[in-house]
Amino acid sequence: MAMGKINKDDLDKIKKGVDLDSGSWIKVGLSTCGIAAGADVVFNTFVEEAKKRNLKIAVKRCGCQGMCYAEPLVEVKTEGMPAVIYGRVNKDVAIKILEEHVCSNLLVKDHIYEFRSKG
């Protein structure tokens, strides 16, 4: 059985029913430039360390954000805080982001590349 084409109305219905960015989350850029810079290690660190700490935060993959010079890029959104993009994140910085930003609501200022007013 062939699947029919999805049109704009179908996509609008799906979008209304799902808020993919609700709650707290961490997005790791896993495009080619990110992977080349070590984003796969950073992603795995967030997943493993969040699980060890029993943190209720979604760790998601995303594509290129256009700042290849700053890879690996990580966007973090937690309740009561603006969405923040951190750059040049490695395993140690990932752990620092979990401990300070996610657990203590403190920004990791030496790795911030951008604030986003909307989550």
- The b-or-e profile of 43-59 (16+ CB within 10 A means b, else e) is bebbeebbeeeebebeb
Report the pLDDT value the prediction gives residue 5, as an integer from 0 to 100.
Answer: 81
- Residue predicted with more confidence, 109 or 5: 109
pLDDT band at 6 (very low <50, low <70, confident <90, very high): confident
Backbone Cα Rg of the chain: 16
Distance in angstroms (rounded) separating the CA atoms of residues 81 and 68:
25
What is the percent of the chain with per-residue pLDDT over 70, rounded to a whole number? 85
With H, G, I as helix, E, B as strand and everything else as coil, classify residue 62: strand
Residue bearing the bigger pLDDT, 99 or 11: 99
pTM above 0.85, yes or no: no
Predicted local distance difference test score (pLDDT) of residue 119: 44
pLDDT digits (tens, 9 = 90+) for 55-93: 999 999 999 988 999 999 999 999 989 999 999 999 999
Instruction: Measure the CA–CA gap between 71 and 87, rounded to whole angstroms.
Output: 6
Give Dmax over CA atoms of the chain in angstroms: 54
Distance CA 105, CA 76 (A): 11
* Residue length of the chain: 119
How is domain 22-116 classified at the CATH fold level? Glutaredoxin (3.40.30)
